[in-house]
């Protein structure tokens, strides 16, 4: 059972009436804040590290699907980069799309005899 906080007020000389935290003689108001903040910061860093490590070891379904899509689109990206080697991937793909659309328009315009 938790007892009463062991802190005394300087102005009134009375003991704090709050209940002490488990494993401590003081309530949350009278505990030193620096160790709590440091432990919380270390805990946040450790949880972030564990989360990142876990995601690298066991990728989510979405990450696996994105990797598969990236391998599937790589030949198209290589073709786009061949036509526009200095452009970014996005610009090279946009140029390839424009070229394909132009070819489709020309194909529609051509009539067979």
In a domain, 9, yes or no: no
In a domain, 46, yes or no: no
Which whole-number Å values give the CA distances from 53 to 10, 47, 65, 68, 89, in the listed order? Answer: 49, 10, 19, 21, 29
Q: Rounded CA gap, 93 and 84, in Å?
A: 9
Q: Rounded CA gap, 32 and 19, in Å?
A: 16
* C-alpha triplet 25, 26, 32: angle, nearest 5°: 120
In a domain, 111, yes or no: yes
Q: Is the pTM of this model over 0.75?
A: no
| pLDDT tens sequence for the chain (113 residues) | 568 888 887 788 888 888 888 888 888 888 888 988 999 999 999 999 999 999 889 989 999 999 999 899 888 888 888 888 888 888 888 988 998 899 898 888 887 65
Instruction: State the total domains in the chain.
Output: 1
């Amino acid at each position: 059972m938790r007892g009463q906080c062991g802190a005394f007020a300087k102005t009134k000389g009375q003991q704090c009436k709050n209940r002490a935290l488990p494993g401590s003689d003081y309530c949350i108001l009278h505990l030193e804040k620096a160790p709590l903040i440091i432990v919380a910061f270390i805990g946040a860093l450790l949880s972030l590290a564990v989360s990142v490590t876990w995601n690298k070891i066991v990728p989510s379904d979405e990450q696996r699907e994105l990797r598969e899509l990236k391998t599937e689109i790589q030949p198209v990206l290589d073709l786009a980069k061949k036509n526009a080697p200095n452009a970014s991937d996005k610009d090279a793909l946009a140029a390839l799309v424009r070229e394909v659309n132009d070819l489709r328009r020309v194909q529609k315009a051509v009539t067979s005899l």
